[in-house]
Amino acid sequence: MVANDLRQRIRDKSVVIFSLLVPLALMAVLNLSFGGFDSGSATLKPAVVIASSEDSGQLGDALLEAVESLPIMDVTVRKVAAGDVSRETKATGADLGIILPAEFTAAVTSGQALSVQVVEGDSAGLETDVLISVVDGLLEQFSAGTVTAEAGNIAGLPHDVLGGLAQQAAAGTPALTLSEGQASAGQLSLKGTLVAGQAGLFLLFTVGFGVLGLLAEREEGTLSRLQAAPVTPGTIISAKALVGFILGVVATTVLLTAGSVLFGVSFGSPAVVALLVLAVAAAATSLTFIVARLVRSAEQANIAQSIVAMLLGIAGGAFFPIEASGFLATLMDLNPIAAFIRGLGITAGGGGIADVATPLAIMLGFAAVSTLASRLLPDRGVRA
């Protein structure tokens, strides 16, 4: 029965088109859209900033010096009177104008509300956005120093200690830092995430060719012939599930391999990646048992499977990373697609079987729970 189904799926080309060609095309398109950021090829042009610094203290000049000495782009700061900043910025085609108030340092050090006005140039582009972000970040650092000093003062710390803390906070170098690791971080490059995400997303569609194919067989009339044959319903369901699982494993393996070759992504140890693929295919296949129980027709099954695939795929980070907190974060951690991508991140960083134990457990647990849940649901669909 399995061989028969696989032969048909290959002949009708539906699997090849939908499970291989479409995701590969999507990967290519997404890579073209987002790939530039990942490669670091975006170049920033030299920028000109028109600024007023009537600040009586030192922080105004410090901010402008920080802007001028940015390592990621060449910035020239021209100082003018506050009233001329807007006009000069527009007249000279500068990228940004900054108006620092006279009481800038006093306001920062006293923790008072402060407004720094920026003027975007007529030719504002990526450089202007970067400069605004930098100014915003510097202002936050200055505020952090003030807040730290204030907190230390309330706590009764000596003045020399307070000064050191404030300086440290303002400099943006916290005592504890997170360094981006490899094996433990579970982070894929953007290209790697796209390849893994699309493979995971389309796996959810591919496995639908298995169990959900029973609904199509019912509409085509062949299910009655299967049911009238001397085989148990369990055999029929198991054969269909195995078809979905095999197609899922093959399609995901091909997608990861093709993605690796075409987009220059490495996912690490093939053996560990294979374990992840087997586990995520099992999880995806188990979902089809539930869908098959709940729907009444092949059309309903396709719609339901598409909804489930898009929901789990997007939530799992198939298109872009999704962040959440609290219960929602826990729920999203249990998403097999998210676990799959996380597992591939670990293997890409050199992780072994022990390192991917958690993602594997999540995917296999998901498969077990879904299969069990499907047995408890009333059968509105296939009744094989």
Partner 1 sequence: MTADVQTHRAQVLGVKGLVKHYGAHTVVDDVSFHIGAGETYGLLGPNGAGKTTIISMVSGLIPADAGSIELAGSAMTPASTRVKGHIGLVPQELAIYPDLTAKENLLFFGRLQGLHGKELKHRTGDVLELIGLADRAGEQTKKFSGGMKRRLNIGIGLLHRPTLLILDEPTVGVDPQSRNSILESVEGLATEGMAVLYTTHYMEEAERLCDRIAIIDEGRIQAEGTRGELVELTGGVDRIDLHGSGNTGAAATALRRLPGVQHVDGDASGLTLTVHNGPGLLAPIVAEAGGAGMALSSVEIVRPDLESVFLHLTGKALRD
Q: Contacting partner 1 (CB under 8 A), which of 29, 72, 81, 229?
A: 229
Q: Does 17 participate in binding partner 1 (rule CB under 8 A)?
A: no
Contacts of 203 (CB under 8 A, 6+ apart): 248, 251, 252, 280, 281, 284
At its nearest, how many Å lie between partner 1 and the CB of residue 218? 10
Q: Does 382 participate in binding partner 1 (rule CB under 8 A)?
A: no
Q: Which two tokens stand for residue 354?
A: 């022990």
Q: Rounded to a whole number, what is the distance in angstroms from the first to the last CA of the chain?
A: 14
Contacts of 210 (CB under 8 A, 6+ apart): 5, 240, 241, 242, 243, 244, 245, 247, 285, 288
The helix/strand/coil state of 95 is coil
At its nearest, how many Å lie between partner 1 and the CB of residue 186? 42
Q: Does 221 participate in binding partner 1 (rule CB under 8 A)?
A: yes
Among 169-177, 230-238, 296-304, 354-362, the segment contacting partner 1 (CB under 8 A): 230-238
Place of tokens 């796996």: 203
Q: Where are the alpha helices (DSSP H) in 50-123?
A: 59-68, 85-92, 104-110
Q: Does 7 participate in binding partner 1 (rule CB under 8 A)?
A: yes
Q: Contacting partner 1 (CB under 8 A), which of 86, 227, 238, 260?
A: 227
At its nearest, how many Å lie between partner 1 and the CB of residue 14? 10
To 10 degrees, what angle do helices 270-294 and 298-315 make? 140
Contact 262, 28 (CB under 8 A): yes
At its nearest, how many Å lie between partner 1 and the CB of residue 125? 55
The smaller minimum CB distance to partner 1, of residues 86 and 238, is found at 238
Q: Contacting partner 1 (CB under 8 A), which of 158, 230, 326, 378?
A: 230
Q: Contacting partner 1 (CB under 8 A), which of 43, 113, 225, 354?
A: 225
Q: Which of residues 288-307 bind partner 1 (CB under 8 A)?
A: none
- Taking phi over 0 as left and psi of -120 to 50 as alpha, with beta for the rest, 207 belongs to alpha
Q: Does 378 participate in binding partner 1 (rule CB under 8 A)?
A: no
Positions that interact with partner 1 (CB under 8 A): 1, 4, 7-8, 11-12, 220-222, 224-232
